[in-house]
Structure 1
Amino acid sequence: MSITRDIASHENAVAYGGLIDAIGGVATIVLVICGLVGISPAMMVAIATIVFGVALLIQGGAMLSDYAQVVFPGGVRTATPEQMGGNSLALVFLVGAGGIVLGVLSLLGIKPDVLSPIAVIGFGTALLLSSNAVWRLYVLRRASASMEVASVGQSQHFGAEMLASEMASGSAGIQALAGLAAIVLGILALAGHTADLTLNLVALLALGATLVLTGSTLSATVLSFMRTT
């Protein structure tokens, strides 16, 4: 019984982690819009970079935590590290921390025209390489749940799982496209384009919107497999 409560508490924590990601994405969008309408654009870029970096750290932690809780019955061949997506999630952690540092330095006025585009390129790369992470998580949890159902005979939430499947598969493609777009915009800004601030803001806008989607998808994936016991 205590194990069941611990698992439920963990799943709630991961679901809340996805919600916090979505909130971080919304905050990034709000800051970017303020910059686009002319409210201290340089400062908004730096603050949005910090906020997005923090949200990226939380997202990486939530997904790694949920990966760690995927349980397979004894004797069953488990997934390889490549299938688990551990390498890409480690990159998400690294880029999130680096983005926070670059954002703080930009906010202090240290080469913001260089550091902000570098952070955007890093964010885009992290999202591109980890675009399948939520989908892999769904597949692993689905396999684990199927094995558990076969051995225990518990009921399944087919509607919720179908919704989570659609969200996970859809978010993977959108995240990859947003990451690629951010990389391109960041490179253009770093190359000295006259509208470098606007390019950074647009890139962060796309990244923030993607984070809202992936955070919501992560929460939906976890909640779709919540145990009722």
Structure 2
Amino acid sequence: MSMSFREATTQENAAVYGGLVDAVGGIATIVLAVVGLAGVNPQLFASIATIVFGVALLIQGGTMLSEYAQIIFPAGSQSSTVEHFGGGSLSAVFLVGAAGIVLGVLALLGISPPALTQIAAIAFGTALVLSSNAVWQLYVLRHAAAKSETTQSQSFGGEFLASEMASGSAGIQSLAGLGAIVLGVLAVAGASNDVVLNLVALLALGATLVLTGSTLSTTVLSFMRPWSSQA
């Protein structure tokens, strides 16, 4: 009994830390984009920001997939929800993060830096649009799993905050992803100041990642206390 409690706590802590790492990665992306927009070697900082964002997106995809697996697979009675809450979009996030790292490294090595970072921005935006509902769906699954394990009503404030943040982040993430796609396409099409457009797209993506990471941590934390009290 104590062993299962310790394992669940470790997985939840990993998710919380994963959300915090996402937020830190988003902040780092914002800083790098701002420095580039200030005129300090814009293309170099765009390449570095692409790598940093790719790493953060890779961590986010892995963290979310781990959370989905933790909730869905142990609950045999909830097998009917697996199709509805599929992890296809999260797998895309994971793969896009890895591809973004490769593109950023190649750009940093001087292989068509503008084109590669702009393509990475388009891919990042697409991944955010595809996974825009992932945190909200995770909240719904967590809430259903918590209700099946306990009949007590606990931590109403935390659950309400997590619900509001999860539902709000979905729309913001979609808009930011679409904006990054548009800016990336304009930059690839040869618009003037293409590097600036690329940096603005990375700035918006970084800000969205800060929100998503914070929302993920809040969602996990809002359910940790009720589950831990049953050990």
- TM-score, normalised by the number of residues in structure 1: 0.95
Partner of 1:48: 49
- The 8 Å contact of residues 181 and 203 in structure 1, kept in 2 or not, is answered as yes
Partner of 2:173: 175
Partner of 1:103: 104
Where do 1:19-38 residues align within 5 Å?
Answer: 19-38=20-39
Distance 1:206 1:18 in 2: 18
- CA shift, 1:228, in A, is 3.0
Partner of 2:146: 145
% same residue: 66
Distance 1:24 1:198 in 2: 20
How many residues matched?
Answer: 225
Distance 2:141 2:13 in 1: 18
- TM-score, normalised by the number of residues in structure 2: 0.94
Distance 1:73 1:45 in 2: 44
- The 8 Å contact of residues 68 and 138 in structure 2, kept in 1 or not, is answered as yes
Q: Which amino acid aligns with 2:34?
A: I
Q: 1:12-41 CA deviation, whole Å, 9 max, x = no partner?
A: 111000000000000000000000101110
Q: Which amino acid aligns with 1:79?
A: T
- CA shift, 1:114, in A, is 1.0
- CA shift, 1:85, in A, is 3.6
Inter-CA distance 93–73: structure 2 relative to 1 (3 Å threshold): closer
Distance 1:185 1:11 in 2: 36
Partner of 2:228: 228
- The 8 Å contact of residues 47 and 104 in structure 2, kept in 1 or not, is answered as yes
Partner of 1:70: 71
- The 8 Å contact of residues 21 and 59 in structure 1, kept in 2 or not, is answered as yes
- The 8 Å contact of residues 5 and 228 in structure 2, kept in 1 or not, is answered as no
- CA shift, 1:75, in A, is 3.6
- CA shift, 1:78, in A, is 3.6
Alignment RMSD: 1.3
Which consecutive aligned stretches of 4+ in structure 1 deviate over 4 angstroms post-superposition?
71-74
- The 8 Å contact of residues 55 and 98 in structure 2, kept in 1 or not, is answered as yes
Contiguous gaps of at least 5 residues in structure 1: none
- CA shift, 1:113, in A, is 1.8
- The 8 Å contact of residues 139 and 166 in structure 2, kept in 1 or not, is answered as yes
Inter-CA distance 139–53: structure 2 relative to 1 (3 Å threshold): same
Q: 1:38-86 CA deviation, whole Å, 9 max, x = no partner?
A: 11100000000000000000000111111111157554454133x2240
SS at structure 2 position matched to 1:84: coil
Partner of 1:192: 190
